[in-house]
Structure 1
Amino acid sequence: MIVYEAPKWVPQLPNRPDNIPIGDFVLNPAYGRADPNKSNPPYVCGLTGKTYSVTEVASRVELAARAIKNVLKIDDIHKGGQAAGFSQWERVVGVYSINCIDYVPLCYAVHRVNGITSPANAAYNADELAYQLRDSKTRVLFTCVPLLDTAIQAANAEGVKIPKENIFLLPIPDVVTTEEMRRKAQGFRTFDDLVEEGKKLKEVEPLRWGKGYSREKVAFVSYSSGTSGLPKGVLISHFNIITNVLQVAEYSKSFRDSRGPTKVLALLPQSHIYALVVINQTEPFMGNSAVVLPKFELQSFLTCIQNFKLSFLFLVPPLMIVMAKNKAILDKFDLSSVKYIMTGAAPLTEELSLEMTKLYPGMKVVQGYGMTESSTVVSFTSGVDIWHGSSGCILPGIKCRVVNAQGQDVGENEPGELLVSADNVVIGYLNNQKANDETFIVEHGHRWLRTGDETIVKKSSSGNQHLFIVDRLKELIKISGFQVAPAELEGHLLNHPKVADCAVIPVPNERTGELPKAFVVLNPGYEASKETAAEIMKWVADHKSKHKRLGGGVEFIDIIPKSPSGKILRRLLRDKERENRKKEGAKL
């Protein structure tokens, strides 16, 4: 067995408490968080500047927990926990909202009464939300004014039936609502209302978790992006998140300035594991402010960076493409405070990483790798050893293997599936034993997560082992025995001056099995013509091996379908291609 671990210069992972909820770990200095008196406020609204101190957030969590206990009709918070009583799945609270400063404190308040939170993608329609509410047995739903109509429709769906009195609103700035939205929201109680109610209610007694209980106690049931089939509920324990918060914090000591607190961008959807754990829990634990924006708009994004002097931008590759294509606009703002751009959730190509470094030399580009099933981060780039295209070095406390199609371990520079074993690997999937059996395996005395990602371990000139994520194994295009990663071709296409965005999928071919086809969004001012398509195909043919050429052609579209985290939804493009081929077949 060949095992890859963190470099020797990375601090060892300290012992962690395994009998407390994640909220206590992040907010209580007794467990190692930065001194609250020397910390920045955990969450700051990037539009209004509204915020609460660490102490105020902790107080709001406690007060809201008193009211939520009543809403869930809980007589004894310990029943449904370790004590016999009723299932913990009778205390599931859904969160379907755009980003706001009370999102994570709400989750902590639910955990305070032994409950579970289920964050839902704010881009969901009513049917998608209803599926998650039904699957997770959600009893109470928190939403926000702009999403209220969809939330009500989902709450009334068959098999869900959440009553109106169990639907609450998270406070968000008026600027992202309309007068009509606010009128419809009258009569619904808010998180602020629950905090006020809590002031008149009896204190919630302390949780009595025995040693090891936070390893098995579910904190979040988060749903996978569902790029194929229905989304799966992922059971994430309190200890999973405590572990990853500390892994990221310890690793960050190797290159981030810890002389004082700073402010970071919290723009990515708080329902997504990357934002939920790395941005909105690890950063406050380190004493920093997560400056929250509800959605991406270039002007408000740049204004926020300038006004709050953000030092660290957590982004996804599509947002970096926007930055690369709009340098003239960015140059009008003072972005000198930005020291690092951290990208994750979808592959960042070497070409885009180098382009960003060239355009913005004052900003170091680092990339992380992780997934919901690893409670987020497995590896990320240290600022002291940046290798463009790499996902960096492994975090402390994590063991990795790379295995080929025959299940044999492979060494450096050989591709294979990445396997991960660590305390941040989740409990498993909700009500899906088949997926559990396929994804989590026990070998050599360890439980391993099969990531489904083709990976190569390479050693940098500094002697550190880096992970290079090639692509999803199921998304590799197989051409006459060769394997082609769509991400490689996409990264190259984005360097073409006429290409604004793109995605590559396989299309069937009798002779080769499959061929790459590119869906392309053109920059403004360029015509979607046969000549442009031929030019783009030549761009690939001139720079890539013969089997990587766009034998499937080029199709121009208005927008590339993506998840909120920036992952290309290739399934939708494959469906589109399949329908087109059916129509062509019917014509023939």
Structure 2
Amino acid sequence: MVFLPHSSTGQLATIPDDIPISEFMLNEKYGRLAHDKSSDPYTCGLSGKTYTSRQVVERVDHIARGLAKEFGWSPNKGTEWDKTLAVFSLNSIDMLPFCWAVHKLGGLVSPANAAYSAAEMKHQILDSKSQALFTCVPLLPVALEAAAMAGLPRNKIYLIDVAPQLLGGAKPPTEFKSLTQLLEEGSTAPALEPLKWGPGEGARRTAFLCYSSGTSGLPKGVMISHRNVIANTLQIVAFDGGFRDDFARARGLETFKEVGLGLLPSSHIYSLVVINHSGPYRGDQVIVLPKFDLKSYLASIQNFKITGLYLVPPIIINMLRSQAECSKYDLSSVMTLFTGAAPLGMETATEFLKIYPNVRIRQGYGLTETCTVVSSTHPDDILLGSSGILLPGFEARIMTPENEEVTAYDTPGELVVRGPSVVLGYLNNEKATKETFEDGWMRTGDEAVMRVGPKGTEHVFIVDRIKELIKVKGLQVAPAELEAHLLGHPDVADCAVIAIPDDAAGEVPKAIVVKSASAGSDEETEKSIKKHVEEHKARHKWLKGGVRFIDAVPKSPSGKILRRLLRDQEKEARRKAGVKL
């Protein structure tokens, strides 16, 4: 059985495949809301600094000219792999204009998680072969260490402006050229020739190189084409279009423009496409916050009258546990809460609605490899616990481990999807690409069921993850990566890493370790192992679930770690200890 999009989700427009993302986002010819009718696309939630839609167009042009002058680039010379820039920064209102300027030159951007350690950032610089690194003052020490490890010269490091509140009154070091300087230099530089792309070139060219663990293994560069981003933007717009039109008519408005929250890291595909492309394309305003802080988050909702919250479950749980603080702010402007990156439990959603009954809770499902949203809750078809219905242009199959198609509802299997936003594959990893992608279909590694909702539509329910990824506050942690790191510790003879539940983070990693003969006491060894991870890995990868010592790691005859058995053991231990499961 192939599950097709429901007709009420809207018709998908023609997806252009001969233009870069910058042209699609900045030229009204391709369907974006007219610039003079758009809200300011990016506004800083801390400083209040904002850009109009027209100013963004001008800034992109000037930054592109500045980059061309700085690096000797020309739009129609070389490929995107000759013009690759890494970005390691907190959220900023300059982030997307910078990305589009690179795209205007035919280059590509590799965004990195702001929580990365120097070793992790070094891997991405080297793997992506980035020619320069754009960072911000708060992350500069880590960026410098990573660049030194990767052999990237200091003069190839540039600074992106962030809210002054993050600098504590300090002045940015003058040693490093800023994006603002590049923009100023570009404002007097010669105009750029337009990109001359033929049919299909936007589908072949990589625009973003985002790093994901995929269905297994260590982080891999995911090659996301211009057409992938354009397609998912159009899919989201088509999916929501009818509802937004009805909402506008009911209020006597020409068009409904959302004030959305831009809190989630712009390096994450959810934020990158859903918030930072779909929103401005349809004329919405994005209130950008550099990182999560409860008070500044609540103040932004109140001060900017935010109507759409784009969150991950841990932030929702934080709100529920901090009602004394939340009650001090006027949050009545919020109409919609959209959650993704990890499943939101039905109990949590129900608890939220008791406090905020007028908010529509929507949940989406997608991956870096699908260039974001595969399915989403339609505002007129809400079913708590569901990840919604398929977006226009997507098809899905449910497959058994024997690779047979499931043809019955409420029967679990691996979710396999096909659509125009499914990416090109993994950089320099033919094996992983072949395992994950075939004839346009993508194996998600997630166990799902299809279920018919009260309105007769087919809803996607994510039941469990077949893949081994751990989701900590919506961020991916690959057990294989931590296991490889732990095996470098002299006290570790063998190990496995599994997820255990956590109220605040959703899941946290726990190490199951076989000690080496030279290891000391359990207490000393656990402390040493945790320190070993904390000194080399980002905070969300730390062993917050602790360490358990065993005699042997259970494995299959082929050597595959039997993580499900380990998870079952942990679950039973928690049950016996009286811990709520």
Where on the TM-score scale, by shorter chain, does this alignment land: which range?
A: 0.7 to 0.9
Residue 452 (structure 1) aligned to one of 429, 445, 457: 445
The answer to whether the 8 Å contact 1:265/1:310 transfers is yes
Could you report, residue by residue, the CA deviation over 1:441-492 in whole angstroms, capped at 9, with x for unpaired residues?
23xxxx2100000000000011010000112113599xxxxxxxx99x95xx
The answer to whether the 8 Å contact 1:391/1:466 transfers is yes
Residue 313 (structure 2) aligned to one of 310, 317, 338: 317
Does structure 1 residue 32 correspond to structure 2 residue 20? no
Equivalent AA in structure 2 for residue 45 of structure 1: C
Equivalent AA in structure 2 for residue 577 of structure 1: V
Q: Distance in 2 between matches of 1:362 and 1:46?
A: 24
Q: 3-state SS of the aligned residue for 2:547? A: helix
Q: Percentage identity across aligned positions?
A: 44
Cα deviation, residue 345, structure 1: 0.5
Q: Distance in 2 between matches of 1:348 and 1:255?
A: 23
Does structure 1 residue 462 correspond to structure 2 residue 462? no
Does structure 1 residue 373 correspond to structure 2 residue 369? yes
Equivalent AA in structure 2 for residue 60 of structure 1: R
Cα deviation, residue 235, structure 1: 0.1
Residue 285 (structure 1) aligned to one of 263, 281, 285: 281
Instruction: Identify if the C-alpha distance between structure 1 residues 348 and 92 changes in structure 2 by more than 3 Å, giving closer, same or farther.
Output: same
Q: Distance in 2 between matches of 1:53 and 1:332?
A: 31
Residue 82 (structure 2) aligned to one of 90, 111, 120: 90
Could you report, residue by residue, the CA deviation over 1:244-296 in whole angstroms, capped at 9, with x for unpaired residues?
00000110123333433221000000000000010011000010011000011
Could you report, residue by residue, the CA deviation over 1:349-369 in whole angstroms, capped at 9, with x for unpaired residues?
111111111221011111000
The answer to whether the 8 Å contact 2:279/2:285 transfers is yes
Corresponding residue for residue 294 of structure 1: 290
Does structure 1 residue 581 correspond to structure 2 residue 574? no
Q: 3-state SS of the aligned residue for 1:373? A: helix
Corresponding residue for residue 183 of structure 2: 195
CA-atom RMSD, angstroms? Answer: 2.6
Q: Distance in 2 between matches of 1:332 and 1:126?
A: 39
Corresponding residue for residue 80 of structure 1: 78
Scaled by the length of structure 1, what TM-score is found? Answer: 0.80
Q: Distance in 2 between matches of 1:304 and 1:279?
A: 16
Task: Out of 141-150 and 247-256, give the one that drifted further.
Answer: 247-256
- Figure out how many residues of one structure are paired with residues of the other and give that number: 495
Matches within 5 A, 1:303-452: 303-410=299-406, 411-442=408-439, 447-452=440-445
Does structure 1 residue 230 correspond to structure 2 residue 181? no
Corresponding residue for residue 70 of structure 1: 69
The answer to whether the 8 Å contact 1:96/1:122 transfers is yes
Instruction: Identify if the C-alpha distance between structure 1 residues 226 and 414 changes in structure 2 by more than 3 Å, giving closer, same or farther.
Output: closer
The answer to whether the 8 Å contact 1:268/1:565 transfers is no
Q: 3-state SS of the aligned residue for 1:215? A: helix
Q: Distance in 2 between matches of 1:137 and 1:505?
A: 30
Equivalent AA in structure 2 for residue 13 of structure 1: L
Q: Distance in 1 between matches of 2:403 and 2:196?
A: 43
Q: Distance in 2 between matches of 1:312 and 1:281?
A: 15
Q: Distance in 1 between matches of 2:144 and 2:37?
A: 42
Corresponding residue for residue 518 of structure 2: none
Instruction: Identify if the C-alpha distance between structure 1 residues 501 and 314 changes in structure 2 by more than 3 Å, giving closer, same or farther.
Output: closer
Instruction: Identify if the C-alpha distance between structure 1 residues 320 and 309 changes in structure 2 by more than 3 Å, giving closer, same or farther.
Output: same
Q: Distance in 2 between matches of 1:136 and 1:506?
A: 30
Instruction: Identify if the C-alpha distance between structure 1 residues 146 and 407 changes in structure 2 by more than 3 Å, giving closer, same or farther.
Output: same
Q: Distance in 2 between matches of 1:71 and 1:141?
A: 13
Cα deviation, residue 161, structure 1: 2.3
The answer to whether the 8 Å contact 1:316/1:565 transfers is no
Instruction: Identify if the C-alpha distance between structure 1 residues 582 and 139 changes in structure 2 by more than 3 Å, giving closer, same or farther.
Output: farther
Instruction: Identify if the C-alpha distance between structure 1 residues 232 and 504 changes in structure 2 by more than 3 Å, giving closer, same or farther.
Output: closer
Q: Distance in 2 between matches of 1:361 and 1:276?
A: 29
Instruction: Identify if the C-alpha distance between structure 1 residues 506 and 454 changes in structure 2 by more than 3 Å, giving closer, same or farther.
Output: farther
Q: Distance in 1 between matches of 2:278 and 2:206?
A: 19
Corresponding residue for residue 523 of structure 2: none
The answer to whether the 8 Å contact 1:67/1:197 transfers is yes
Q: 3-state SS of the aligned residue for 2:243? A: coil
Corresponding residue for residue 135 of structure 1: 127
Could you report, residue by residue, the CA deviation over 1:32-79 in whole angstroms, capped at 9, with x for unpaired residues?
0011111101100001111111111111111111111122222x4312
Q: Distance in 1 between matches of 2:420 and 2:505?
A: 37
Q: Distance in 1 between matches of 2:158 and 2:459?
A: 45
Gaps of 5+ in 1: 82-87, 478-485, 495-499, 509-556
Instruction: Identify if the C-alpha distance between structure 1 residues 505 and 164 changes in structure 2 by more than 3 Å, giving closer, same or farther.
Output: closer
Q: Distance in 2 between matches of 1:505 and 1:191?
A: 37
Equivalent AA in structure 2 for residue 473 of structure 1: I
The answer to whether the 8 Å contact 1:141/1:168 transfers is yes
Corresponding residue for residue 10 of structure 1: 9
Cα deviation, residue 186, structure 1: 2.1
Corresponding residue for residue 260 of structure 1: 256
Cα deviation, residue 179, structure 1: 4.3
Q: Distance in 2 between matches of 1:503 and 1:15?
A: 40
Q: 3-state SS of the aligned residue for 1:466? A: strand
Q: Distance in 2 between matches of 1:228 and 1:448?
A: 17
Could you report, residue by residue, the CA deviation over 1:314-336 in whole angstroms, capped at 9, with x for unpaired residues?
00000000011112221211111
The answer to whether the 8 Å contact 2:220/2:426 transfers is yes
Equivalent AA in structure 1 for residue 77 of structure 2: K
Equivalent AA in structure 1 for residue 28 of structure 2: P
Q: Distance in 1 between matches of 2:413 and 2:193?
A: 50
Equivalent AA in structure 2 for residue 100 of structure 1: S
Equivalent AA in structure 2 for residue 417 of structure 1: E
Task: Out of 58-67 and 224-233, give the one that drifted further.
Answer: 224-233
Could you report, residue by residue, the CA deviation over 1:127-160 in whole angstroms, capped at 9, with x for unpaired residues?
1000000000000111001011111111111xx3
Could you report, residue by residue, the CA deviation over 1:529-569 in whole angstroms, capped at 9, with x for unpaired residues?
xxxxxxxxxxxxxxxxxxxxxxxxxxxx9xxx9xx999x86
Q: Distance in 1 between matches of 2:321 and 2:292?
A: 16
Q: Distance in 2 between matches of 1:32 and 1:229?
A: 39
Cα deviation, residue 167, structure 1: 1.2
The answer to whether the 8 Å contact 1:254/1:382 transfers is no
Gaps of 5+ in 2: 249-254, 471-497, 513-529, 554-581
Instruction: Identify if the C-alpha distance between structure 1 residues 350 and 119 changes in structure 2 by more than 3 Å, giving closer, same or farther.
Output: same
Q: Distance in 2 between matches of 1:503 and 1:457?
A: 25
Q: Distance in 1 between matches of 2:398 and 2:30?
A: 35
The answer to whether the 8 Å contact 1:313/1:342 transfers is yes
Residue 221 (structure 1) aligned to one of 209, 212, 215: 209
Does structure 1 residue 248 correspond to structure 2 residue 217? no
Q: Distance in 2 between matches of 1:501 and 1:136?
A: 30
Does structure 1 residue 46 correspond to structure 2 residue 35? no
Could you report, residue by residue, the CA deviation over 1:105-140 in whole angstroms, capped at 9, with x for unpaired residues?
101111111111000000001110000000000001
Q: Distance in 1 between matches of 2:401 and 2:543?
A: 27
Equivalent AA in structure 2 for residue 21 of structure 1: P
Corresponding residue for residue 59 of structure 2: 60
Equivalent AA in structure 2 for residue 133 of structure 1: I
Does structure 1 residue 176 correspond to structure 2 residue 176? no
Cα deviation, residue 404, structure 1: 0.9
The answer to whether the 8 Å contact 1:313/1:341 transfers is yes
The answer to whether the 8 Å contact 1:356/1:365 transfers is no
Task: Out of 379-388 and 320-329, give the one that drifted further.
Answer: 320-329
Cα deviation, residue 164, structure 1: 2.2
The answer to whether the 8 Å contact 1:168/1:190 transfers is yes
Q: Distance in 2 between matches of 1:96 and 1:262?
A: 28
Corresponding residue for residue 151 of structure 2: 161
Cα deviation, residue 25, structure 1: 0.8
